[in-house]
Amino acid sequence: MAAGKRKFVSNSQDSVRMFKSDFFEALSKVHFTVPLYLFIPVIIYCFYRSSLTGMALWEYPADFLAGMLVWTAVEYVMHRYVFHFELPGTIGRRLHFIIHGVHHDYPSDRLRLVMPPSLSIPLAIAFFYLFKACIPDRYF
Ligand SMILES: [Zn+2]
């Protein structure tokens, strides 16, 4: 955000309505534990798949650390340059608010502390194929 721009931040823990449609509104909310239920089984499955490749035991923590570093960098770049990118005009402001702005304007909204599955699952699939294209086949 540019210096001098007015910044709204609510202290309310309530969830602000984002969509007129009840369907889209429901898809925009999630309890903060839901990503754990979704992605921990995927992580366990990935560990299982990697155990079939004959990886040495020492490679697991090394690869885990490398994955954490890469994902942290990717997440930072996404947050800094994609989630905070705002197209001009009313539609651009609205799109930015829906994608990420609500997270900053209502930081205590208990149902929007994490990315909802309606967005995180497609992003996870896209990143899986992006990383699969960039990382040697022996890791998949
Ligand atoms: Zn942000």
CB atoms within 10 A of CB 106: 22
Which of these, 105, 109, 112, lies nearest to 8 by C-alpha position? 105
Domain that holds residue 52: 22-139
Whole-number Å distance, alpha carbon 136 to ligand 1 midpoint, is: 32
Average pLDDT in the chain = 87
Which of these, 100, 61, 97, lies nearest to 78 by C-alpha position? 100
Give 6's pLDDT tier (boundaries 50, 70, 90): low
Q: What pLDDT score was predicted for residue 2?
A: 47
Q: What pLDDT score was predicted for residue 40?
A: 95
Whole-number Å distance, alpha carbon 19 to ligand 1 midpoint, is: 20
Give 54's pLDDT tier (boundaries 50, 70, 90): confident
Burial (CB count within 10 angstroms: exposed 0-12, middle 13-18, buried 19+), residue 30:
buried
Asked whether the beta carbons of 7 and 1 are under 8 A apart, the reply is yes
Residues in the chain: 140
Vertex 47: Cα angle to 40 and 54 (nearest 5): 180
Whole-number Å distance, alpha carbon 133 to ligand 1 midpoint, is: 28
pLDDT at residue 9 is higher than 60: yes
Please tell me the distance from the alpha carbon of residue 68 to that of residue 62, in angstroms, as a whole number: 10
Indicate the number of domains in the chain: 1
Whole-number Å distance, alpha carbon 138 to ligand 1 midpoint, is: 35
pLDDT tens for residues 10-52?
A: 777 777 888 899 999 898 899 999 999 999 999 999 889 888 8
The answer to whether residue 12 is domain-embedded is: no
Whole-number Å distance, alpha carbon 33 to ligand 1 midpoint, is: 20
Q: Which residues contact 29 (CB under 8 A, 6 or more apart)?
A: 15, 111, 112, 116
Whole-number Å distance, alpha carbon 51 to ligand 1 midpoint, is: 36
The answer to whether residue 61 is domain-embedded is: yes
Whole-number Å distance, alpha carbon 43 to ligand 1 midpoint, is: 26
Whole-number Å distance, alpha carbon 47 to ligand 1 midpoint, is: 31
Mean pLDDT of 105-115: 88
